[in-house]
Structure 1
Amino acid sequence: MIFLYSRSTTDPLKRPIKAFILSAYYYPYSKSLGKDALALVMSINLGKRKGSYQRLQVGDLMDTTEISVLGRNKSSGVLVRTNYERITLHENCQMISIFATVQLLPNTIKVSMESNGVVTEIPFKIPSYKKRDVVVCISPLYVSEQWQNFLLSAHIYKQFGAHLHVYFISAVASFFQLMHEYEKHVNYTDELCLRTDCIPSELHNNAAMGSCYVSTCNSLIQESAKFITLFDLNDILIPTLAPTLVEEFQILMSGQSHVSYMIYPRQNYEATVYNKTGFSIQSMMNSLVDKNTRQTGRIVINPHKLNYTYINRPLCIPNGLRSMDVTSNFITHLDSVVWENKETAMASLESFNLDNSTDNMYKVFFGDIEEDLKRMLKKQQIAEILGTLPNFYYFYDLVNKCFEEKYYRFINQDTINSVKNDCPGPQMCGFYQHPRIECVHVNATHIFMEPIEPITYYYATEHHYTADIGCYAQ
Structure 2
Amino acid sequence: MRIFWRYQTTLFCFALIFTFYIGLYQAVNLLFGIAHIILPYQPPKNNELKAFITSSYFYPKSESLGDNSFALVMSINVAKSQKDYMAIQGGKIMDDAELTIYADNGTSRKIVRTNYIRITPHDYCQMITVFATTQLLPNVEKIELLSDDGSTEIPFSLPSYQKVDVVICFSPLYVFEQWQNLLLSIHMYKTFGAFMNIYLISSISSIFVLMQKYESAGYLKIQPWYRVNFPYIPSYVVDPFVGIEFENEAAAFTDCLLQYKESASYVAFFEIEDVLIPRIAPTYIEEFEKIISELRKPVYLIYKEDSYEVVGARKGSEYSAKLMLRSLSFKREDKKIRGVQSYEKVVVNPRYMNFTWIQPTSFKPGNNYFKVTQNSITHLKNIRWVSNFQISTIKNFHFQTDYSSRKSVPFYKNTTELLISTENSNKVEADFRRMFMDYEFENTLLDLPERHHYSVSISKCLMNNYYKKLNSRQFAQISCPGPQACKFKKIYGVNCIHVNATQTRRKKLSPITFHFATDPFFTSDIGCTMSVPRHTPCAVCGGTPNGSRYGPVTCLGCIVFFRRAIQKGKLQHCEKQCWREIGLDTRSCCRSCRLQKCLSAGMNPNAIQNRDKLGPRQPRRLDEILDNIDTDFDGLLQLQRKQRELHQRYSNSNKKENVSGVVKIKHRLYRRAKPYDIDLVLKLSFRNAIDWAKQFNSFWNLNDVEKKLVMSEFGIAFLLIDQAYKTSCKSEKGFWLLQNDSFLHSDYFFGIPVEDVQNEIDLLQSTYHSEFVNDLLGAIKQPFSILKIDKLECVILKILLLLTPSFPGRVKLEDSEKMISKCMSNLMSYSFKKCPDNGMVRFGEVILLIRSIRSAVKVFYNQTKLSVNFDVSKFDSFVKNCFLS
Q: 2:222 aligns with which of 162, 177, 190?
A: 190
Aligned to 2:364: 317
Aligned to 2:435: 376
Q: 1:299 aligns with which of 346, 349, 356?
A: 346
**CA–CA distance in structure 2, aligned partners of residues 432 and 50 of structure 1:** 41
Counterpart amino acid of residue 400 in structure 1: S
Residue 140 (1) aligns with residue 140 (2) = no
Aligned to 1:31: 63
Q: Quote how far apart the aligned CAs of 1:342 are.
A: 2.5
Residue 255 (1) aligns with residue 302 (2) = no
Q: Deviation string for 1:410-463 (max 9, x for gaps)?
A: 8x86x9874754111223332111111011111101121011010100000110
Aligned to 1:350: 407
**CA–CA distance in structure 1, aligned partners of residues 129 and 327 of structure 2:** 39
**CA–CA distance in structure 1, aligned partners of residues 230 and 450 of structure 2:** 33
Aligned to 2:184: 152
Q: 2:381 aligns with which of 335, 339, 364?
A: 335
Q: Quote how far apart the aligned CAs of 1:16 are.
A: 2.3
Q: 2:520 aligns with which of 463, 467, 472?
A: 463
Q: 2:447 aligns with which of 388, 398, 409?
A: 388
**CA–CA distance in structure 2, aligned partners of residues 136 and 38 of structure 1:** 23
Counterpart amino acid of residue 313 in structure 1: P
Q: Quote how far apart the aligned CAs of 1:214 are.
A: 0.6
Residue 215 (1) aligns with residue 257 (2) = no
Query: Secondary structure of 1:329's partner?
Result: strand
Q: Quote how far apart the aligned CAs of 1:394 are.
A: 1.1
Aligned to 1:444: 501
Aligned to 1:120: 152
Tell me, yes or no, if the aligned pair for 1:115 and 1:455 is still in contact at 8 Å: yes
Query: Secondary structure of 2:291's partner?
Result: helix
Residue 433 (1) aligns with residue 490 (2) = yes
Residues 29 and 180 of structure 1: CA distance in aligned 2, closer, same or farther (over 3 Å): same
Query: Secondary structure of 1:42's partner?
Result: strand
**CA–CA distance in structure 2, aligned partners of residues 392 and 64 of structure 1:** 47
Residues 59 and 359 of structure 1: CA distance in aligned 2, closer, same or farther (over 3 Å): closer
1:199-210 matches, within 5 Å, as: 202=235, 203-204=239-240, 205-208=242-245, 209-210=248-249
Counterpart amino acid of residue 495 in structure 2: E
Aligned to 1:225: 264
* Cα RMSD (Å): 2.6
Residues 288 and 360 of structure 1: CA distance in aligned 2, closer, same or farther (over 3 Å): closer
Q: Quote how far apart the aligned CAs of 1:260 are.
A: 1.6
Query: Secondary structure of 1:450's partner?
Result: coil
Q: Quote how far apart the aligned CAs of 1:364 are.
A: 2.7
Aligned to 1:9: none
Q: Quote how far apart the aligned CAs of 1:314 are.
A: 4.5
Tell me, yes or no, if the aligned pair for 2:81 and 2:96 is still in contact at 8 Å: no
1:72-151 matches, within 5 Å, as: 72-151=104-183
Q: Quote how far apart the aligned CAs of 1:57 are.
A: 2.7
Aligned to 1:365: 424
Extract unaligned runs of 5+ from structure 2. Answer: 1-43, 396-405, 532-885
Q: Deviation string for 1:51-89 (max 9, x for gaps)?
A: 964131345566742111111111111111111111112
Aligned residues: 460
Tell me, yes or no, if the aligned pair for 2:411 and 2:417 is still in contact at 8 Å: no
Counterpart amino acid of residue 243 in structure 2: N
Residue 277 (1) aligns with residue 317 (2) = yes
**CA–CA distance in structure 2, aligned partners of residues 324 and 449 of structure 1:** 45
Q: Quote how far apart the aligned CAs of 1:267 are.
A: 0.3
Q: Quote how far apart the aligned CAs of 1:402 are.
A: 2.5
Higher Cα Rg, which structure: 2
Extract unaligned runs of 5+ from structure 1. Answer: 1-12
Kindly indicate which of the two structures has a greater share of residues assigned to helix.
2
Residue 168 (1) aligns with residue 209 (2) = no
Aligned to 1:237: 276
Residues 427 and 68 of structure 1: CA distance in aligned 2, closer, same or farther (over 3 Å): farther
Counterpart amino acid of residue 75 in structure 2: S
Tell me, yes or no, if the aligned pair for 2:74 and 2:129 is still in contact at 8 Å: yes
Q: Quote how far apart the aligned CAs of 1:164 are.
A: 1.1
Tell me, yes or no, if the aligned pair for 2:411 and 2:418 is still in contact at 8 Å: no
**CA–CA distance in structure 1, aligned partners of residues 382 and 417 of structure 2:** 25
Residues 345 and 50 of structure 1: CA distance in aligned 2, closer, same or farther (over 3 Å): farther
**CA–CA distance in structure 2, aligned partners of residues 62 and 321 of structure 1:** 17
Tell me, yes or no, if the aligned pair for 2:94 and 2:117 is still in contact at 8 Å: no
Residue 17 (1) aligns with residue 49 (2) = yes
**CA–CA distance in structure 2, aligned partners of residues 416 and 90 of structure 1:** 14
Query: Secondary structure of 1:152's partner?
Result: helix
Q: Quote how far apart the aligned CAs of 1:255 are.
A: 2.2
Mean Cα deviation higher: 125-134 or 43-52: 43-52
**CA–CA distance in structure 2, aligned partners of residues 221 and 394 of structure 1:** 34
Identity of aligned residues (%): 37
Q: Deviation string for 1:257-285 (max 9, x for gaps)?
A: 32421110000111111121111112212
Q: TM-score, length-normalised on structure 2? A: 0.50
Q: Deviation string for 1:14-35 (max 9, x for gaps)?
A: 9321110000000011111111
Residues 373 and 409 of structure 1: CA distance in aligned 2, closer, same or farther (over 3 Å): farther
Mean Cα deviation higher: 23-32 or 181-190: 181-190
Tell me, yes or no, if the aligned pair for 2:95 and 2:116 is still in contact at 8 Å: no
Mean Cα deviation higher: 133-142 or 399-408: 399-408
Greater RCO (CA < 8 Å, at least 6 residues apart): 1
Residue 246 (1) aligns with residue 285 (2) = yes
**CA–CA distance in structure 1, aligned partners of residues 133 and 116 of structure 2:** 8
Mean Cα deviation higher: 111-120 or 143-152: 111-120
**CA–CA distance in structure 2, aligned partners of residues 380 and 69 of structure 1:** 47
Tell me, yes or no, if the aligned pair for 1:136 and 1:228 is still in contact at 8 Å: yes
Tell me, yes or no, if the aligned pair for 2:92 and 2:362 is still in contact at 8 Å: no
